[in-house]
Structure 1
Amino acid sequence: MPRFSAFLLVVLSLWLAGPAHAQRKKDKTTAPQADKPRKLSRKERKELARRSALEAAGSARPDLTPKERELSESYFIDGVRFLLLEDYNKALERLLKAYALNPTNAAVNYKIAETNLLSGNIQDATNFGRAAVKLDAKNPYYYLLLAQIYSSQKQYQEATEVYNTLISQVPNSKYYLFNLADLYLAQGKFDEALATFEQAEQKFGTLDEISFKKQQIYLRQNKLDKALEEGESLIKSNPDEARYVLAQAQLYATNRRFDDAIRVAQQALRQNPDNARARMILADVYRLQNNRPESERQIKQAFESPSLDIDDKVRILIDYIKQLPNPALNETARELAAITTRVHPREAKAFSIAGDIETVTGNRPAARTNYLKAIRLDNTRYQIWQQVVLIDAELTQTDSLLTHTAQALELFPNQAPLWFYNGVGYQLQKQPAKAAKSLEYGRKLATDNPELLAQFDTQLGDVYHELKEYPKSDAAYDAALTFDANNAQALNNYSYFLSLRGEKLDKAKEMAGKLVKAYPDNSTYLDTYGWVLYRLKDYAGARQALESALRHTSDATVVEHYGDILFQLGEKDKAVAEWQRANKKGGASPLINRKIKDQKLYE
C-alpha cells in the first residue's frame, strides 16, 4: 500500500590642535566649570583650524624672509584644508613643503604626524609626533596625538609614559587622568587604573563615571564586596538613576544575594512601576528560588510593558522554545507569546515567534494562523512561508497548500522546496500532470542538494505511476534508491506498484522484504509485502504477512487484500466475510461490491 512522507582609548579629533580634543563630560556639581572645555561645532572647528594656521605661521623661524614666511603659511593652510577634506596625499605634500621651510615649527610637525596617522604611515607619524612634543612641551594636544599613535600600535607602555608626562608637566591637564586610567585598563593593569582613578577623585571629587569604572574593576578582580559597595554608593548619590539601581540589582542576583536583589529591584519599581528590567530581574530571582508563580507573574508584567524591546522578548521566548515541549512551561510560553503579539501588533517577529511556540507545543493550526499574520506584516522571510507550507502538508489541506505555495513562489521562485510541495499539492488534488510539471521544475533547482533531489525523484515515481508513464516512474524510483538504498517510501511504493502491474516481481519481493525486515510491525509495509507474495502466488506467505499486518491495523484495503488471499486458499466464506468487513469500513476497492454480490474474486 503506498504512502507519502571594551576598552576606551583616547579619541582625538584628527582635524586640528584645539581644545575640542579628548575631553569628557564632567559632573556639573563636582568638576570645576573652568576645567570643562566646550565642545565645538564643525564650523567652529574649521575656523579654529584657520586661526591655528595663522598662529603657526607666527611661530616661523626668526631667519625666515617675509616671502618664506608667507609661503610657509600658505602651504600650511593648504595642508590643513586638504586634511579636513580627507585628501591625505595632497595634505602631506603641502605640509612637507611647509616643513622644508620651517622644520622647527611644532604645529607643522603635529599636522604631519596627524596626516601620517590617518593615512596609515605609523612610523612617520611617530617620528613627527615626538618632534612636535619636543618642540612644544606645554601643548597637551601634541601629547594626546602621540599617545594615540602609540596606542594604535598597541605600544601601551609608551602611551602610558606620554600621559604621565602630560599630566605632570602641562598645567591644567589632570583631566587626562581618565585617559590614563583607561589605558591601564586596556593593559589589564587594574591596580594602576584604580590608583589613577583615586587621583582623579582627589582632583575632581566623587564622579559617577569613576565609581562605575571602579566597580567594573573590582568585579574583574573578583572583589565582589568592594564592587557592591561602589554600586550602593552610586545609588545613594543618584537615587533616581535607574541604570545604577538595575545594575546593582542584577549584580546581587548574579551572585545569589537574592534578598538584596529583590530589595534593590523593588526600589526601581517604586520609582517606576513599569520598569520591565526590574521585573525581569525579579522573575529570575524568584525562578532561582523555585517560586514559579511569582516568577511567572513578574515576567508576564514585564512583557506587558512596551519598554521591554521586542528583540528582548523574542530572545526570552527563544529560551523557552529550547525547553519545550514541557507540560510545566507550555502554557506560560503561549501566554507570553500572546502578550507579545498584543503589545507589538505591527511586529512580524512577534507573530513569527508565537508560531514557533505553537509549532513546538503541537498546535499546528494556531501556529499557521500566527505565521500568516507575520507574513501579512512582512512577506520577505522565506522561513515563515516554509513553515506555513509544511503545516499545510502535514494537515493535508490541499487547497491551502496550493494557495500558499503559489503565493510564496511569486516571491521565491528559485526555492526548490516550494516547488516540491506545490507538486505534492497537485498530486493530492489528483492532478498528476500539473504535479509532474512542478516537480520536474523544482528538481532542476535541487541539483546541488542530493537529499532533496532524492525526495523529488521519489515523488516523481508516484506521480508518473498515476500518469501510467511506467518507465519514467521506475527510473525515478531507481534514482532515489541510488542515493539512499533504504528510502522507505521509494521501496514501498515501487514494490507495490510493480506488484499491481505484475512486473519485476522478484525485484518487488526483494524491496518489500527489506522493508519488512527493517520495520516488522509496520502494517503498510506488511500489506505491500503480502501483496507482492500474492502476485507471486505464494498465498501461504501472503496470508502470514497480512495476518501480521491486521494485528496493527483494520484499514479497509488490508482487510480486502486478506479476503482475496483467503479466497485463493479456498476459504470462500471467510473471504466473503472479510470483504463485507472491508466494505463497512469504507475505502475498499471499486470491485468490493461485485466480490460480495457474486462471492467471486475480481482483480
Structure 2
Amino acid sequence: MMNIRFFVPFFLCTCLSGFGNVAFAQENIVVPKILSAGDSLLIKELYFQGIQQKSSGQLAAAEKTFDKLTLLQPDNDAVHFELARIYFEKEDYWAAENAARKAADLNPDNEWYWVMLLDIYKKTANTKRMPLILDELIRLNPTKASNYYDKAYALYLDEQYEASLATFDTIVGRFGATDGQHITKYQIYMAQGDREAAKKELELLISKKPKESNGYIMLAELYTDDKDTKKAMALLDKAAALFPNDPLILLAKSDTYLAMGKQKQAYDYLHQAFLNKELDIDAKAGILYTAVGDHKRPIATKSLTDLADLLAETYPMEVKAHAVKGDIYMQIQQLEQARLAYLKAIDINRYIDGVWQQLLQLELQMGRYDDVEEHGIEALALFQNHPLMLFFTGHGFLGNKNYPQARTYMEAALNNADEEHTPLLAQLYSSLGDIYNALAMHAESDVAYEEAIALDSTNAYALNNYAYYLALRKERLSHAVEMSKKSNELEPNNASYADTYAWVLFQQGQYKEALVWIEKAIKYAGEASDTLLEHYGDILAKSGNINEAVVQWKKARTISESVGKDIDKLAKKINGKQYID
C-alpha cells in the first residue's frame, strides 16, 4: 500500500549541481574576458553597452545590441553566450540553445558555454543531449566528480541503463566506492527489471551500513512485492529490534501485512506510525492519500476513516489535518463527514482558498445548492473575482434554476479566468450555453457551445447539450446528429447521450434508428426517467406501435406525477392515443 520510496537518488544528494535544476545561477557566472586588444573600439563599446543594459534589466535593448554585434563580429563567442543567457532568461530555450551552441563551437574550451547548454537541456528535459555535454565538461575538468554523477543520472533518465552502470564503474575507479552508490545501482537494476541484482545491491548496503534502516526497509519492500512475505517480515523484525522508534519500519510492516491480507495487523502498525512523533503531519497526510488511492493493496475503509480522524485529533488546530480528513472522506464517498471536516478547517482559518473550493465542489456534488450559494458568496467576499469560486457559485444558482444570477457569476468567472486555462474556459462556455438556453437566448447559447467545442473538441457534455437543444428547436439537425454521434463515441453507454442521439434522429424522421438508440438509453439508465420513457413512447408512436407507446407514456406520467411535474401533454397523448408535438 505505502510503497515507501523515501530516499533520493544518490546522484541528487552528491552532485554539486543538483541534477534537474539550473546548475549555476546565470547572473553569478563570471565570464572570462574574451575581447582582445585587436577588437575595434566600436566592438568594445557595444559589448559593454550590452552588458550594462542586461545588468539593469533592459533585456530587449541588450538583445538588440548583441544582435548588432553578431553582424559586426560573427565569430565573437562571448556575444553569442550573452545572447544565450538573455534567451534563457526569457524562456526561449530554442534560441538559447542555438546561441549557446554557436559559442561552444567557437570556443569549445570555455566551460561556461557547456554549462549553459546543460542548463538548457535540463529545462527542456533533453536527456539525449545531456550525456554529450557532460562528456565535454568531464574533458575540461576530469577531477570534478559531480559531472560523472550527472552523466550517470542523465543516462539513467534516457534509459541507457548499461551505459549508466558503466559510468558508475568509472566513478568507483576514479573516486572510490561510496555506500550511496548501492542505492543508485538498485534503482537502475529495478528500471531494467533485474530484481535479483537490485536485491544484491541492497544486501551489500545492509552489510556496509548495518546501523541504518533504509536498506532493510527497501529490501523488505522488494520481498513483499515478490510475495516472499516471510522473508520480508523476518527482515523487518530484525530492523525493528535495531531501530525501535523508526516509524518507517512500522509502515513497512503494515504494507507487508496488507500484502498478506491481514487487515487488522496492517491497521495496528499504521496506527502506531500515526502516533509516532517522528512522523510529521505532511508524512501522515501523504500516507493517507497513498492508501486511499491504492487499489493493489487496499486498506479497509474503516481503517482509513479512523486514521483520518486520528490525524485531526492529533492536530486539532491544524487546517491541513481537517482538510486532509475531508479529502479522505470525500474519496470514499462519505460526503457529509467530508463536508463537516472542510467546515472545521474553514472555521480554523478562513483564508485558504483551496479548502473553500473543495467545500463548494462537494456541496455541488451533494446537490446542496442553497449552501453553495451561501458559501460561495462568503468565499468571494474573501477572494474577490476568484474564477473558480465564481464558477462554483454560479453552479449553485444554476442548480436552483436561478438563471439570471447564474449568468452573472458565470460571466464574471469567464471575465476573470486565465486565458491559458483551457479546461476551465471550456467548462465555463458549456455552462453558459446551458444558462443562455434556459433564458431563451438561443443565439448566445449556440455561440457559447461553439466556443466550448472549439477549445475542447472532446467536450462530450457540450456536444450533447448543444445537439439536444438544436433538436428541440428543429434547427441544423445534420450538425446536431454529427455532434451527438461524437458525444456517444467519446462516452459510450451514457443514457443521456444515447437519448439525445435518439431524439435528434427522431426529429430527422429516422424512427427505426431512433428506436434502437432510445432502447439503448433505457438499458444504460437502469432506472428510466420520465423524459426517457416519454421519448420512448413518442418514437414508438411514430414507428407505428401506438399501443406500446401508450404503455410507455403511462409509465412516464406516473413518474412525473410523483415529482409534481405538469402531465397535461402526456395525458393528451394517452387519451388521444397519438403523438403530440
**Which of residues 546, 556, 566 in structure 1 aligns to 2:540?**
566
Equivalent residue, structure 2, for 1:42: none
1:444 to 1:538, Cα distance in 2 relative to 1, 3 A: same
**Are 1:395 and 2:366 matched, yes or no?**
yes
Which amino acid in the other structure matches residue 345 of structure 1? Answer: P
Residue 190 (structure 1) shift: 9.9
Separation (CA, whole Å) in 2 of partners of 1:384 and 1:326 = 29
Task: Report what 1:555 is aligned to.
Answer: 529
Instruction: Name the count of aligned residue pairs.
Output: 367
Kept after mapping to 2: 8 A contact 1:324/1:330: no
Alignment partner of 2:524: what SS? coil
CA distance in 1, matches of 2:216, 2:442: 73
- Structure 2 unaligned regions, length at least 5: 1-12, 15-142, 144-173, 179-200, 221-234
Structure 1: tracts of 5 or more residues without a match:
1-5, 8-155, 157-186, 192-218, 232-247, 267-276
Residues 113-512 of structure 1: matches in 2 within 5 Å? 228=210, 257-265=235-243, 277-278=245-246, 281-285=249-253, 287-288=255-256, 293-294=264-265, 296-304=267-275, 309-323=280-294, 327-446=298-417, 447-512=419-484
Task: Give the TM-score normalised by structure 1.
Answer: 0.54
Question: CA, structure 1 residues 550+189, in 2 after alignment: closer, same or farther (shift >3 Å)?
Answer: closer
| Distance 1:529-1:308 versus aligned 2 partners, 3 A rule | closer
For residues 304-333 of structure 1, the C-alpha deviation after alignment (integer angstroms, 9 at most, x for no partner) is 466754344334434434526954354333
Cα separation, 2, equivalents of 1:286 and 1:544? 52
Report the CA distance shift for 1:566/1:350 in structure 2 as closer, same or farther (over 3 A): same
Cα distance in structure 1, aligned partners of 2:344 and 2:542: 57
How far apart, in 1, do the equivalents of 2:523 and 2:205 lie?
70
Q: In the superposition, relative to structure 1, how do residues 287 and 462 fare at CA in structure 2: closer, same or farther (>3 Å)?
A: closer
Work out which of the residue numbers 542, 545, 551 in structure 2 matches 1:577: 551
Question: Which entry has the higher C-alpha Rg, 1 or 2?
Answer: 1
User: What letter matches 2:457 in structure 1?
Assistant: A
Give the AA of the match of 2:429.
Answer: D
5 Å-filtered alignment, 1:28-107, equals: none
| In 1, Cα distance between equivalents of 2:318 and 2:176 | 46
Quote the offset at 1:492 in angstroms: 1.3
What is the deviation of 1:560? 0.8
Relative to structure 1, the CA distance from residue 566 to residue 387 in structure 2 (aligned partners, 3 Å threshold; closer, same or farther) is: same
CA displacement at 1:223 relative to structure 2: 7.8
Partner of 2:118: none
The 8 Å contact of residues 304 and 340 in structure 1, kept in 2 or not, is answered as no
Letter in 1 for 2:580: Y
Task: Calculate percent identity across the aligned residue pairs.
Answer: 30
Q: CA deviation at 1:550?
A: 2.9
1:539 to 2:493 alignment: no
- Distance, in Å, in 2 between the alignment partners of 1:282 and 1:517 is 48
**Take 1:402 and 1:373, find their aligned partners in 2: how far apart are those partners?**
19
Deviation, 1:539, is 3.1
Give the superposition deviation at 1:543. 2.8
Change (3 A) 1:570 1:220: closer
Cα 1:326/1:583, change in 2 over 3 Å: farther
Query: Residues of 1 paired with 2:470 and 2:340: CA distance?
Result: 42
Structure 1 pair 602–332 and aligned structure 2 pair: CA distance change class (3 A): same
Shift of 1:535: 2.3
Distance in 1, matches of 2:202 and 2:500, equals: 68
Q: Deviations over 1:96-129 (max 9, x none)?
A: xxxxxxxxxxxxxxxxxxxxxxxxxxxxxxxxxx
CA offset at residue 438 of structure 1? 0.7
C-alpha offsets along residues 439-469 of structure 1, whole Å, 9 cap, x if unaligned? 1110011233222112111111111111011
**Which residue number in structure 2 is paired with residue 597 of structure 1?**
575
337-346 vs 257-266, greater mean Cα deviation: 257-266
Report the Cα offset of residue 489 of structure 1: 1.5
Contact 2:236 2:249 (8 Å CA) reproduced:
no
